[in-house]
């Protein structure tokens, strides 16, 4: 694991965007998977800035959502597809047909998840996976459990995640209880992984990720220890163990 500690959220966002931009410049048809939530917003804004000021070219890039709430469609204000649309797609020259999300409104959700994995395979696999991390150590929506699914699947959200994510909704009751998410096998098959964390609220989970040398499904981020090319980028607040 390569670990980088940046001074603050702005520097973290710049460094993360620089890594994504370098990957796109090296391989213009990069296949990238992107997270949502509060953490990646600065990185996405910086990518838009690089597009506007330096002509960073997204015209051939392929981008996938890591996860999506069931059953929020692409037009729902809190859907994760809409999030990437707002923060990235509508501000850069990406071809919409190169943007992907699990079809969470399908009648057969299991088939929709399997189709997503086939789509990923059809794209030749994921070159760069950018991850956030939940307060309980979840990656994507792979929540702590006795067993973790390798493939894309529908997951029940934990009470902690529902509470954490309620800040994006009017009330806790509106937070969806399920999401389709890439499984841990899909995540670990990405050729390169960049995990981002910012702020004191992530201090405990980052401390655990950087010090624990055992792998357990009860702390899904620990599976990243099995991957050969993981970069963890955090700001000083998230690096300061309690
Ligand atoms: C959600 C998403 C994750 C994200 C996590 C952390 O649960 N499914 O992909 O990493 O939240 O979000 P935040 O960056 O807002 O702390």
Q: Which of 16, 34, 39, 137 to mutate to test the pocket of ligand 1 (most atoms within 8 A of CB)?
A: 39
pLDDT (average), residues 78-83: 97
Residues 6+ apart with CB under 8 A from 69: 76, 78, 79, 80, 104, 176, 178, 179
- 3-class DSSP state for residue 64? strand
**Contact between residue 204 and residue 189 where contact means Cβ atoms under 8 Å apart:** no
**Per CATH, which fold does 2-239 belong to?**
Rossmann fold (3.40.50)
Q: Which atom of ligand 1 is nearest to the CA of 140?
A: 9
- 206-30-209 Cα angle (round to 5): 10
**Catalytic-role residue among 46, 51, 67, 153:** 67
Alpha-carbon Rg for the chain, nearest whole angstrom, is 17
Asked whether the predicted pLDDT for residue 185 surpasses 90, the reply is yes
Peptide bond into 219 cis (omega under 30): no
**Considering only CA atoms, which residue is closest to atom 3 of ligand 1?**
140
Would you state the pLDDT for residue 241?
74
Asked whether the predicted pLDDT for residue 113 surpasses 90, the reply is yes
Q: Which atom of ligand 1 is nearest to the CA of 202?
A: 16
Provide the percentage of residues in the chain whose pLDDT is more than 70.
100
Would you state the pLDDT for residue 206?
98
Is 67 among the catalytic positions? yes
Asked whether the predicted pLDDT for residue 57 surpasses 90, the reply is yes
> How are beta strands 178-181 and 67-70 bridged, if at all?
antiparallel
Round the average pLDDT of the chain to a whole number and report it.
97
| Strands in 80-203 per DSSP E | 99-100, 128-131, 153-156, 178-181, 192-197
ipTM value of the model? 0.96
Round to whole Å and give the CA distance between 207 and 181.
Answer: 25
- 3-class DSSP state for residue 131? strand
Is 68 among the catalytic positions? no
pLDDT (average), residues 30-58: 98
Q: Which atom of ligand 1 is nearest to the CA of 38?
A: 15
Domain ranges for the chain: 2-239
φ/ψ bin of 148: left (φ > 0), alpha (ψ from -120 to 50), beta (otherwise): beta
C-alpha pair distances (Å), 146 with each of 123, 163, 185, 204, 220: 31, 22, 16, 21, 10
pLDDT in tens, 128-146: 999 999 999 999 999 999 9
pTM higher than 0.90: yes
Sign of the C-alpha dihedral computed for residues 38, 204, 171 and 102 taken in this order: positive
Other CB atoms closer than 10 Å to residue 175's CB: what's the count? 19
Asked whether the predicted pLDDT for residue 191 surpasses 90, the reply is yes
Would you state the pLDDT for residue 242?
62
pLDDT in tens, 219-238: 999 999 999 999 999 999 99
């Amino acid at each position: 694991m390569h670990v980088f500690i940046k001074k603050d959220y702005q520097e973290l966002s710049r460094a993360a965007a620089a890594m994504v931009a370098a990957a796109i410049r090296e391989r213009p048809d990069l296949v990238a998977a992107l997270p949502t939530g509060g953490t990646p917003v600065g990185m996405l804004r910086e990518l838009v800035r690089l597009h506007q000021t330096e002509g960073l070219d997204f015209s051939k890039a392929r981008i996938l959502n890591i996860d999506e709430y069931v059953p929020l469609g692409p037009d729902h204000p809190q859907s994760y597809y809409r999030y990437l649309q707002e923060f990235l797609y509508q501000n850069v020259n990406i071809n919409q047909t190169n943007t992907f999300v699990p079809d969470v409104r399908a009648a057969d959700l299991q088939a929709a998840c399997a189709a997503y994995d086939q789509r990923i395979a059809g794209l030749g696999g994921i070159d760069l996976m950018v991850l956030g991390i939940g307060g309980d150590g979840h990656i994507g929506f792979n929540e702590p459990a006795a067993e973790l699914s390798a493939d894309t699947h529908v997951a029940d959200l934990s009470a902690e995640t529902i509470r954490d994510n309620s800040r994006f909704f009017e009330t806790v009751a509106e937070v969806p209880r399920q999401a389709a998410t890439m499984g841990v096998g899909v995540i670990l098959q990405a050729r390169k992984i960049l995990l981002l964390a910012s702020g004191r609220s992530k201090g405990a989970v980052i401390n655990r990720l950087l010090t624990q040398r055992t792998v357990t499904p009860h702390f899904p981020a620990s599976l990243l220890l099995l991957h050969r090319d993981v970069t963890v980028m955090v700001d000083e607040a998230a690096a300061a163990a309690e």
